[in-house]
Structure 1
Amino acid sequence: MQRYFISKNQFVENKVHIVDEDAFHLIKVMRAKIEDQFIVSDGETRDVLVEIEEMTKSKVIASIIKELDRTNEPIINVWIAQSLPKGDKMDTIIQKNTEIGAVQFIPFISKRTIVQYDQKKTKKRMERWNKIAKEAAEQAHRNIVPQIKEISTWKELLKTIPEVDASFVFYENEDQIYLKDIINSKKTDHDTTPTFLMVIGPEGGFTEKEILLLEEAGCHIVSLGKRILRTETAAMVGLTCLLYEYGEIGGS
């Protein structure tokens, strides 16, 4: 069933008002009709089943049929810090990891980051990334849309590490400690929902000094196996491993 994220002010008493791109999608793409049903979420506290009551060329008004349980989110919070990759790779990283279950993305600049955005391009990229996250969350039937933080400097990234319960950096030169080893040691540490941070390097990887600085800040240096993964692949593999170990995709 189709799902849309809308703002809280679009909930009006026992109805919802669908406008702008969402209305266009319903009317033109989905060919919606009166009495068609779909799901609407405010991305925070409410998911509801609604039925179309009125339609114009640019607006859909639907009545709320019932409140729905919000049970589609993982039992852990995973943040992905991604050194900005070349081209449109960040689009893929946000889309696929939103589908899998990430709750926050932190784009950042590291030593070997190649791309440079000016203020105008940064604004356009942020708008695009938020749109991709929203559409991917709708497709995957998430209860939330992941947050995408402003692009961070290297120093700002290091300050983020103490904010989480555990952080990991995947390093090709590490061959002794694996992600699973650290996960299993953390499982009994928390009675509440733990938050994990995965730090992913750019196409050229991290420098040895950056790895040392991450480790000094409290980040665990771990391996994802013997194969060298592309920057746009690493987060997907790491996130899937985390969710598997916590029983979100099979697992224990």
Structure 2
Amino acid sequence: MQRYFTEELVNPDHFHLTGEDYHHIVRVMRMKAGDEIICVTSTGNSAICQIAEITAEMVVANVVKWEEGNKELPVFIVIASGLPKGDKLEWIIQKGTELGAHEFVPFTASRSIVKWDSKKAGKKIERWQKISKEAAEQSHRNIIPSVREPVSLKQLTTLAKDYSFKLIAYEEEARTGEASVLSETLSKMSAGESLLIVFGPEGGLTPGEVSLLTENGFLACGLGPRILRTETAPLYVLSAVSYHFELLR
């Protein structure tokens, strides 16, 4: 059943879907009155709805049943990625959303090949957020992960004060055989707490960047004996978090 995030809850019994959602329902899916969809509010509540009417500008959907349960991870995982080249960040956002990430924070790193163009910021962030929304709908999330505008590493250390735990995925730790920090951190976390984890771009983080982060309360951790690509490492961590909190019971 197709899922749509919408803030247009007219009352507890009706949703109005407009804009891109309207286009997708009417032009892409070619739905008609009587078809069922799932509508999700901005607060994460979802309902099975039946399309009651399709006008020239909106779809009116009646609530059939409010769903129970929550498909979100019990902890908030925030992915901070050093700006990678090509479409790798889009891949991280899409797959990271499917795996349960709560937020994405791109940052400019010393070894980032891509340089952030503030003139194109609006369209870029809009595209990233659209990728997040579509992935959240596809994976039946209750929220849409937010994607921040890229920050500097210094700004990232300031943002980090808002999170419960802070880690750096650092390949040098993997090379030395470090294998306990991530596991120990997850074991310390309780439901509702947050983890900000930093991943370098291609080429990794410089020793100076790691020093700055550790001076601001970050712990460096390895992700197993293999060296992972910048777009693979966040998915490894999210999978480990899901296993720890959702499967290892």
TM-score strictly above 0.5: yes
Shifted more, 34-43 versus 133-142: the winner is: 34-43
Aligned to 1:77: 76
Aligned to 2:6: 6
Query: Matches of residues 47-62 of structure 1 in structure 2 within 5 Å?
Result: 47-62=46-61
CA distance in 2 between counterparts of 1:72 and 1:152 reads: 30
Aligned to 1:22: 21
Aligned to 1:132: 131
CA distance in 1 between counterparts of 2:37 and 2:86 reads: 35
| Deviation string, structure 1 residues 144-163 (Cα, Å, up to 9, x no partner) | 00011121111111122332
CA distance in 2 between counterparts of 1:171 and 1:117 reads: 23
Query: Is the Cα–Cα contact under 8 Å of residues 91 and 231 in structure 2 kept in the other structure?
Result: yes
| Deviation string, structure 1 residues 186-221 (Cα, Å, up to 9, x no partner) | 53464x412111101011111111111111111111
TM-score scaled to structure 2, two decimals? Answer: 0.93
CA distance in 1 between counterparts of 2:187 and 2:97 reads: 23
Distance 1:212-1:117 versus aligned 2 partners, 3 A rule:
closer
Distance 1:133-1:217 versus aligned 2 partners, 3 A rule:
same
User: Which runs of 5 or more structure 1 residues have no equivalent in the other structure?
Assistant: none
Distance 1:90-1:218 versus aligned 2 partners, 3 A rule:
same
Letter in 2 for 1:177: E
Query: Is the Cα–Cα contact under 8 Å of residues 177 and 225 in structure 2 kept in the other structure?
Result: no
Q: Secondary structure at the match of 2:158?
A: helix
Q: Secondary structure at the match of 2:172?
A: coil
CA distance in 2 between counterparts of 1:141 and 1:227 reads: 31
User: Which runs of 5 or more structure 2 residues have no equivalent in the other structure?
Assistant: none
| Deviation string, structure 1 residues 154-197 (Cα, Å, up to 9, x no partner) | 1111122332221111111112432x54433553464x412111
Aligned to 1:251: 248
Aligned to 1:227: 226
CA distance in 2 between counterparts of 1:51 and 1:227 reads: 49
Distance 1:45-1:189 versus aligned 2 partners, 3 A rule:
closer
Q: Secondary structure at the match of 2:123?
A: helix
Number of aligned residue pairs:
246
Distance 1:91-1:29 versus aligned 2 partners, 3 A rule:
same
Aligned to 2:206: 207
CA RMSD, Structure 1 to Structure 2 (Å): 1.6
Query: Matches of residues 36-47 of structure 1 in structure 2 within 5 Å?
Result: 36-47=35-46
Query: Is the Cα–Cα contact under 8 Å of residues 177 and 221 in structure 1 kept in the other structure?
Result: no
Query: Is the Cα–Cα contact under 8 Å of residues 46 and 70 in structure 1 kept in the other structure?
Result: no
CA distance in 1 between counterparts of 2:224 and 2:3 reads: 37
